[in-house]
Structure 1
């Protein structure tokens, strides 16, 4: 059913839903558009409407081939909407759901496109604040790039900033998607351009591995890992690409590359990645004792079970895990003692494909077999040593004279 959005646009069909609002396929004076209609409770917030109007110039000024252009901002009664270019394609989350992970060349080409878009936005003083696969669109009508990658465009610029008003969050809330939040945001510091670099590096890790480096389990555990854990290497990843990832996932914002530098470095590596297959690694499971961990006595199935994707964690109860999972939802900033609750150290290492899950029945069984094998080997060695000692002793006694035997006895005190 069509509905009017302001005086110039008509929304015809719902393309997707999220925690902030609904995206519609619409029509404007210049042809088809995408219309992001914010929730009614947000539209009724006068402070947010004021910020919406204030951000108009900055959002309309972003013009880059790898940024979805915002054409208009509509404030009309209970309607608050962003009118954007319509991209004929899908989002990156949908592709990940279908393929689980990408070949390194395609993954790097997509992320380089997004880094170019971020560089243009950062040059205008605009920070995205919610870079993730759901907000990266793939233009299926554009020319194929390295690794057969479709051109990538970053969308939803400004939405996180609009929702994150001082009255709404104060200094005790954070807004975003846990898997992609930079450590400084978890600690309550104001977001700067470097938070987008951290999130984009997390996306690249996810494209290569099929899971995020610190995700899994309760959102609070995810936030703590961003602050306390370091990422471990992915088996099979080229060393130069890995070092680039490590630098952009640094805990200190100043250690990360700028968006333009990241884009250039990624494109430099594309020739060396040509033809490399997707990585063959298994996702690490939550550690025992963490929310979301598998029960300790859960048997390891002989046949591969259906995997539950561990992408961004929805923050709204009952939300559907689709390509528009909840995003701009506020959470309480963890206290320092909560962030320090986990041991400082390295994040759980991805398992080699087919390796048993730590703590599982198959893992414990393998450990028992190793212990039995080691114990049996030790028993054989002890027995062999005893036989050798007996043989050496009896051999000496056979050759000894009575005097020799007498002289071998301890002297009387």
Structure 2
């Protein structure tokens, strides 16, 4: 059902839902638009509405071919909405779920486009703070780029900052999507431009591998891994590209490249990636997979649901767009120093269980049982052999005595 948004826009059809609100296909004075209508509880927050108005100039001033332009901000009664350019295509998450992983050339071309968008935003003093595949749109009507990639545009600028009001996220709270949070955010430091570089490098790793470098398991474990663990190498990609990833996933923000540098360096890699197929890396097991020897496996006809990023709020129900703008307590220093709960999601050969997974633990238990049984059998054989040896010795001793005493 169509609904009016302010005095100039009409929302006609829902295009998608996220944790911050609903995106509608709408109509404005200049033609079709996308309207992001924020949740009612957000619209009723007077402090947030004030921030919304304050950020109007900054958000409307972000114009770049790789940024989804915000045309207008609407505050009307209970409606709080961002009116944006309509991009006819899909988001990067949808493509990733369909293809599982992308060929390196296409992945690098897409990420280079997003880096261009971030460079323009950072130059204007705007930090995105929520870079992830859901917020990257692929323009299906644009010209194809390297590897057959469609032009990529970054959207949802300013939404994280708008919702991250001091009252909502005090010093003990953080917001974001766990898989893509930079270590300094986890440690409670203010977000700078480097957090977007870390998140974008995480997206590139995910496009290449099919999973994020530190995801899996309880959200607290994910956050700790960002702080304590190093990224696991991906086999099969050029060393220079890998070093770019490592640098942009550095724990220290100052060690990461700037967005403009990252875009340029990625495009330098494109000729070496032409024609390279997607990496042959098996996806890690689901984080809480039941043990194979205790729970029957699901029928093969059922589709396998790949793990999405978990909600930052324990018990919260994740949505299809990976919940964001939710809050969680910042881990204390001693918790971070304690290391990750579980293991990093290391790439492995196809069919091999991931160390620390339920399949791996079940296999270890089976090996232990097998070795235990084998040990008992060996011990029994040794004991029986010793008994026979002793018996033989006892039976042979009288014969020797008898022979030596014979005349």
Q: TM-score range by the shorter chain?
A: 0.7 to 0.9
User: What whole-Å deviation, never above 9, does each CA across 1:167-224 have from its counterpart, x for those lacking one?
Assistant: 1111111010000000000000000000000000000000000000000111111001
Count of aligned pairs: 370
- Please state whether the residue corresponding to 2:168 is helix, strand or coil: helix
Post-superposition offset of 1:313: 1.8
Alpha-carbon spacing, 1:303–1:16, altered in 2? closer, same or farther (3 Å): closer
1:342 aligns with 2:328: no
Q: Is the 8 A contact 1:210 1:283 kept in 2?
A: yes
The aligned runs of 1:186-225 (5 Å cut-off) are 186-225=186-225
Distance 1:229 1:159 in 2: 29
SS of 1:240 mapped into structure 2: helix
How far apart are 1:363 and its partner, in Å?
A: 4.2
Q: Which digits, 9 at most, give the CA deviation of each residue in 1:330-363, with x for residues without a partner?
A: 1111111121222699834211122234463784
Which one of 308, 311, 331 corresponds to residue 311 of structure 1?
A: 308
| Contact 2:221/2:342 (8 A) holds in 1 | no
Determine if contact 2:131/2:180 at 8 Å carries over to the other structure.
Answer: yes
In the aligned structure 1, how far is the partner of 2:236 from the partner of 2:254?
A: 28
Counterparts of 1:172 and 1:146, CA distance in 2: 44
The answer on 1:20 being equivalent to 2:20 is yes
Measured at CA, do residues 114 and 179 of structure 1 come closer, stay the same or move farther in structure 2, by a change above 3 Å? same
RMSD of aligned alpha carbons:
2.7
Contact 1:35 1:81 in 2 (8 A): yes
Name the stretch that deviates more: 209-218 or 347-356: 347-356
| Residues 216, 345 of structure 2: 8 Å contact kept | no
Question: Deviation digits for residues 356-397 of structure 1, max 9, x if unmatched?
Answer: 34463784499679989xx9xxxxxxxxxxxxxxxxxxxxxx
CA distance in 2, matches of 1:106, 1:48: 38
1:36 is paired with a residue whose SS is strand
Match of 2:327 among 325, 330, 334: 330
Which of 270-279 and 309-318 deviates more?
A: 309-318
For the 8 Å contact 1:228–1:345, the answer to whether it is kept is no
User: 2:328 is paired with a residue of what secondary structure?
Assistant: strand
Query: Taking structure 1 as reference, are residues 294 and 9 closer, same or farther at Cα in structure 2, changes over 3 Å only?
Result: same
Rate the CA distance shift 1:368–1:337 in 2: closer, same or farther, 3 A: closer
Contact 2:177–2:322, Cα closer than 8 Å, also in 1: no
Q: Secondary structure at the match of 1:171?
A: coil
Cα distance change of structure 1 residues 101 and 343 upon mapping to structure 2, 3 Å threshold: closer
Q: Is the 8 A contact 1:11 1:26 kept in 2?
A: yes
SS of equivalent residue, structure 2 residue 33: strand
Matched, 1:90 2:90: yes
Aligned to 1:242: 242
Counterpart position of 1:145: 145
Contact 2:222/2:340 (<8 A) preserved = no
Secondary structure of the equivalent of 1:167? Answer: coil
CA contact (8 A) 2:70 2:85 kept: yes
Structure 2 stretches of 5 or more lacking a match? 376-407
Aligned to 1:227: 227
In structure 2, what is the Cα distance between the partners aligned to 1:108 and 1:192?
A: 23
Post-superposition Cα deviations, 1:297-328, rounded to whole Å, max 9, x if no partner, equal 45897998854323322346464542x33211
SS in 1 for 2:167: helix
Alignment partner, residue 400 of structure 2: none
The worse-fitting range, judged by mean Cα deviation, of 36-45 and 155-164 is 36-45
| CA separation of 1:370 and 1:235: change in aligned 2, threshold 3 A | farther
Q: Give the distance between the partners of 1:114 and 1:258, measured in 2 at CA.
A: 13
Write the mapping of 1:261-410 to structure 2, written as runs, cut at 5 A.
261-285=261-285, 292=288, 294-295=290-291, 297=293, 306-315=303-312, 317=315, 319=317, 321-322=319-320, 324-342=321-339, 347-358=344-355, 360=359, 363-364=363-364
